[in-house]
């Protein structure tokens, strides 16, 4: 995948374990699923307010009724360069009653990771964070989780991915962190069928899926598979919509510029939400809307619009 660099990103384009029995995951009971559908975390994912400075994002999260926000590593680096200290960031977050949920994305979790020589230089800064740096950012911002993606479209043996994901989960656990794996159609972990086995076979209590509705419907949606996944192994749900037809020159541009608020496009988002609710997976939910249209709004306007759209779908 070609990610945007910090200037592009900031201007326009961009533990709970499953129950194991005989090696098979057991679906939660209907009662357990029903009690776990209450949304405990409402997350303002960074993409939705990607062009806005730190304090405006906090104000936006408050205005939209969000409990948490995510942070791009490149944004944290930029805020430090602008003179904000980690202590000042923590203080502002605590004063507002907003927590940092996830440092997202973490790309360098696969052994032997190296940015290809032909990778666009202007985009390197978005993914150029090693594990030590990601853990440091998480500690400085008192984050709760890391979101892992395979961001370069590089193919790896599934066993390598399983071992790598399990290992990073183990190291994260020593720091009190959860980890999620996000499948993406622009990745070599392109869909739910590719992502879920990695999480299931890694089998760590602090490791789960990040389920993005845009990625789900832009890849190969598998409702039958989704219905079999224990809801408590889907740690995060990201909501975004789109037109059925791809916009832009390719899928990356469609992803970074033309997402829509959940429920305002043509994708069957309500169906995915219903499926997620049925398995008890709607516990941590939030909009992730990379879009030029969202960039044009103020931070508060974007957060309020996203919150309204989200509440229509999930309450």
**pLDDT attached to residue 16:** 29
Total-model pTM: 0.89
The CATH number corresponding to 6-314 among 3.40.50.1980, 3.50.50.60, 3.20.20.150, 3.40.190.10 equals 3.20.20.150
Angstrom distances, CA of residue 117 to CA of 77, 94, 296: 23, 41, 34
Q: Give the domain ranges of the chain.
A: 6-314
In angstroms, the CA 84 to CA 262 distance is 33
- In total, the chain counts a number of residues equal to 315
What is the 8-class DSSP label of residue 147? E
In angstroms, the CA 83 to CA 64 distance is 27
**pLDDT attached to residue 115:** 86
81: how many CB neighbours lie within 10 A of its CB? 9
Per-residue pLDDT of the chain (315 residues; tens, 9 = 90+): 434 433 344 333 333 233 232 333 333 333 344 334 589 999 999 999 999 999 999 999 999 999 999 999 999 999 999 999 999 999 999 999 999 999 999 999 999 888 888 888 778 889 999 999 999 999 999 999 999 999 888 999 999 999 999 999 999 999 999 999 999 999 999 999 999 999 999 999 999 999 999 999 999 999 999 999 999 999 999 999 999 999 999 999 999 999 999 999 999 999 999 999 999 999 999 999 999 999 999 999 999 999 999 999 999
**pLDDT attached to residue 37:** 58
* H/E stretch holding 207: strand 207-212
* Residue 21 three-state SS: strand
**pLDDT attached to residue 124:** 87
Any bridge partners for residue 44, and if so which? 69
* Residue 139 three-state SS: helix
Task: Determine contact, residues 158/195, Cβ cutoff 8 Å.
Answer: no
**pLDDT attached to residue 104:** 98
**pLDDT attached to residue 11:** 30
Q: Which residues contact 132 (CB under 8 A, 6 or more apart)?
A: none
């Amino acid at each position: 995948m070609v990610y945007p660099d910090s200037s592009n990103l900031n201007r326009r384009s961009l533990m709970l374990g499953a129950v194991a029995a005989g090696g098979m995951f057991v679906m939660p009971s209907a009662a357990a699923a029903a009690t776990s559908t209450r949304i405990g975390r409402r997350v303002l994912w960074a993409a939705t307010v990607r062009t806005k400075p730190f304090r405006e994002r906090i104000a936006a999260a408050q205005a939209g009724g969000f409990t948490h926000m995510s942070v791009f590593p490149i944004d944290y680096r930029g805020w430090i360069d602008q003179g904000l200290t980690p202590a000042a960031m923590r203080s502002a977050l605590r004063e507002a009653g907003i927590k940092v949920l996830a440092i997202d994305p973490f790309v360098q979790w696969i052994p032997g990771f190296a940015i290809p020589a032909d990778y666009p230089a202007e985009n390197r800064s978005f993914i150029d964070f090693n594990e030590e740096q990601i853990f440091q950012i998480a500690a400085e911002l008192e984050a709760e989780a890391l979101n892992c993606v395979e961001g370069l479209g590089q193919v790896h043996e599934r066993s390598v991915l399983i071992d790598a994901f399990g290992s990073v989960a183990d190291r994260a656990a020593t720091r009190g962190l959860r980890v999620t794996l996000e499948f993406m159609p622009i990745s070599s972990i392109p869909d739910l069928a590719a992502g879920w086995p990695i999480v299931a076979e890694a089998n760590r209590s602090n490791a789960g899926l990040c389920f993005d509705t845009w990625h789900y419907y832009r890849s190969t949606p598998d409702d039958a598979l989704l219905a079999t996944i224990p809801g408590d192994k889907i740690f995060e749900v990201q909501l975004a919509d789109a037109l059925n037809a791809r916009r832009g020159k390719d899928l990356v541009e469609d992803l970074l510029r033309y997402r829509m608020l959940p429920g305002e496009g043509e994708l069957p988002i309500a169906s995915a939400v219903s499926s997620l609710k049925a398995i008890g997976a709607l516990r941590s939910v939030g909009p992730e809307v990379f879009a030029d249209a969202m960039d044009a709004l103020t931070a508060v306007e974007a957060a309020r619009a996203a919150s309204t759209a989200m509440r229509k779908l999930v309450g």
